Structure 1
Amino acid sequence: MEAKSFWVRLTTLVFIIRGWRQTVGCLEQERIALFQLKAFFNHPAELKDWVNVKGSNCCQWKRVECNITSKRVIDLFLDSTHQSNSNGYLNVSLFLPFEELKSLYLRNNKITDFVDNKVSLSSALNNLEFLDLTNNYFNDSILLKLKSLTNLKVLIESEIFNTFKVRKCNRY
């Protein structure tokens, strides 16, 4: 009877610890980086839960997906979140803290180019496998920059007349 009680207590303790780990949330440096991205991706309704509160769990924020084990951001869904009357230059150094970022959705954001004054595109997005750039204002020179993303498998872009291109990036 005592052995059964021991296992019940041990199992309860494991569930408590696992539940506690899930509430800890994302890494602090990634939460801060997301909040810095919010300055560019500034749609008030879509990013209202992106708050600068220490300990806020960014893995539970809208448009963010994390690895359940490492708690690192793996997917960012930033479609239609840049609210501006002018085109934007996106600073890629803002993505540097996201070491496990695999997918980045940037559709409909009026992005003209990536600015990489501090770091290269490849160092900021070195694990990226999927990138959606549909309906932005890039020109063909962006393809030269994207070639440095050696892990990129899928690139979705649109041309001027809204015909979609999906490229397998390891075979430009």
Structure 2
Amino acid sequence: MEYWKWLEMVVLALIMLEGGWRTEGCLEEERLALFQLKPFFPSIDSRIDGSRLEYYLYPIEEKETSSDCCEWEKVECSSITGRATHLFLNLTYIVTYDDLVYDDLVYSEYRRIGNNKYWYLNTSLFLPFEELQSLFLSGNSIVGFVDNQGLKRLSKLKNVEILDLSHHNYIGNNSSQLNDFMSLKSLRLQDCGLVGSIDMREFNSFINLKELHLGSNQIKSLGFSFYDKEPLWLNKLEVLGLSDNLLNSSVFSSLAPLSNLKSLHLSR
């Protein structure tokens, strides 16, 4: 009899490891948290067919919304725990074709949210997602944070490896609040109001960072020299995006300490 109990446990464990089982739907606390986010990201519960180009240019055809938030297009969950692991909230406000400007497609997409153009984010609304690994928030007309609910609060999510905050100018004045994100492997800060000299040592706390994207800002220099006394610790950085900035050839001396850098983007 003991043998059969042991065999049953082994079989169940194998099924779970293969992703063949998970809890029934998403966790209730996370589903409620997603609905709290819905006023700010209206299409968070959508189930949309079609390519991303169709998403921008043509009216959206949505399937019937499921009560299981793990089936939503903007949410991806663990097949074992049912917890949300990825939130794809880029450009979540849906506009009609008449709202788009052909030559400025992306920007026109994220300049409007409902009847309001701009709004403030309460980052504590993301704290229930304890297993979150990726958070994409680019292009949603966020202009700041609710008091005491800024980027530092997000650092409580200890499993986040990918964070996309692109196309939000307010980030330039708040980037220092990101220092506690030690789990990050990819950070996207394109078009985030970074101006002048940026000291790369501000990112030293990101000991696991492999990709750093700083394109489409107004960075003039990286403000770091190979001869500076305080070292640069981005030992794992492999990809650095600096396209569409105001840099000159002096940038190369600042990059000398990045011994594992494999890809550098400097186009203008």
Common fold by TM > 0.5? yes
Cα offsets for 1:113-149 (capped at 9, x unmatched): 2336368514543321111111123242221111122
Give the greater-gyration-radius structure (CA).
Answer: 2
How many angstroms does 1:21 deviate by? Answer: 5.1
Say whether residues 1:33 and 2:33 are aligned partners. Answer: yes
- Contact conserved, 2:117 with 2:141, CA < 8 A, in 1? yes
Higher relative contact order (CA 8 A, sep 6+): 1
Q: What whole-Å deviation, never above 9, does each CA across 1:18-43 have from its counterpart, x for those lacking one?
A: 8x955711111001101111111124
Matched to 1:140, the amino acid is G
CA distance in 2, matches of 1:21, 1:136: 39
Equivalent position to 1:137, from 155, 165, 169: 169
Uncovered stretches (5+) of structure 2, i.e. residues with no partner: 1-7, 48-61, 94-112, 194-211, 215-232, 238-268
Q: Aligned ranges for residues 84-123 of structure 1 at < 5 Å?
A: 84=114, 85-115=116-146, 117=148, 120-122=152-154
Q: TM-score normalized by structure 2?
A: 0.47
User: In structure 2, how many angstroms separate the alpha carbons of the residues matched to 1:65 and 1:160?
Assistant: 26
The alignment's TM-score, normalised by the length of structure 1, stands at 0.70
Report how many residues are paired.
152
Query: After TM superposition, where is structure 1 displaced by more than 6 Å over at least 4 residues in a row?
Result: 47-51
CA distance in 1, matches of 2:122, 2:26: 22
What is the percent sequence identity of the aligned residues?
A: 41
CA contact (8 A) 1:108 1:136 kept: yes
Higher fraction of strand: 1
Q: Which residue of 2 aligns with 1:128?
A: 160
- 1:66 is the counterpart of 2:77: yes
Provide, for residues 87-124 of structure 1, a one-character-per-residue CA deviation record: whole Å limited to 9, x for no partner: 22110110111000110111110112233636851454
For 1:40-79, what aligned pairs fall within 5 Å after superposition? 40-43=40-43, 46=46, 56-79=67-90
1:46-99: CA deviation from partner (whole Å, max 9, x where unpaired): 477796x8xx21111111000111111000000111424322211011011100
| Contact 1:49–1:61 under 8 Å retained in 2 | no
